[in-house]
Amino acid sequence: MATLTKSIGLVLVSLVLVSSKYAQGPYVLTIHEIGLCPREEIGETGDDLQLDGRIHHQRGAKSPAFSGNATLLNNPVTVGNSMITTYVAKWDTVSGWRKNFAILRFGEACQGLKTYLKTYYKEFIESHAPGFPLECPIKEGTYRVNNVSLRYDGPALFPVMPYGRFRLDGVMHYMNTASKKIRGCGRFVVETTERLGQEKLSSLNIGQESLLTKIRQ
């Protein structure tokens, strides 16, 4: 989970793999929270990933955006050095967060970057995180992320997703130690909601107008 872009890719891939028994269809993806995993909640989180940023509103933009710095320490993203696992929890209005709703093992970090980052998000990186490498090794240092929108229509690559609120903890582990010690952990809370088509929007507008007419009468 070296950057926000990588995390968005993991979000999309994670949600598309969730059980098909949940209501799903065309969607809007909204990112509600971005940050590091809280130590008091999950225990050891590692120190090789630091994330410092804020959610803000841009003048003229319909949705908020994220800007900040991602700092990598001790060269965590080099070939054969680290692996990535994403733990997905789903929000339930009765019982709260259902942990381990899905566990997605993306394997070796550099292979994951090659598969998702360079293939699907090259233009995104060039626009919002210039200077961030598109392939391994990714040297330690601080990388700037600028004005990343937190709301997206479902892209053609993933046209259908389950609806709901999901919490994704992306954990980077050492590969070459028996303990698989955690090197860093980033948390994202996202929500997928139905994307209304023009026909359904028109129906809703007619219904609202009818209700207003009754109220006036």
Within a domain: 2: no
pLDDT tens, residue by residue, 65-102: 999 999 999 988 888 889 989 899 999 999 999 998 88
Where do the H-state alpha helices sit in 78-217? 109-112, 118-120, 122-128, 198-216
Question: Per the structure, how many domains does the chain have?
Answer: 1
The amino acid that residue 103 corresponds to is I
Peptide bond into 137 cis (omega under 30): yes
| pTM of model > 0.75 | yes
Spatial separation of the C-alpha atoms in residues 184 and 122, rounded to whole Å: 24
**pLDDT tens across 193-211, in order?**
988 764 444 443 434 444 3
Give the residue numbers spanning the domain of 27: 10-215
For the chain, the distance separating the N- and C-terminal CA atoms, rounded to the nearest angstrom, is 57
Phi, psi of 55 (to 5 degrees): -95, 130
Domain with residue 192: its CATH number is 2.70.220.10
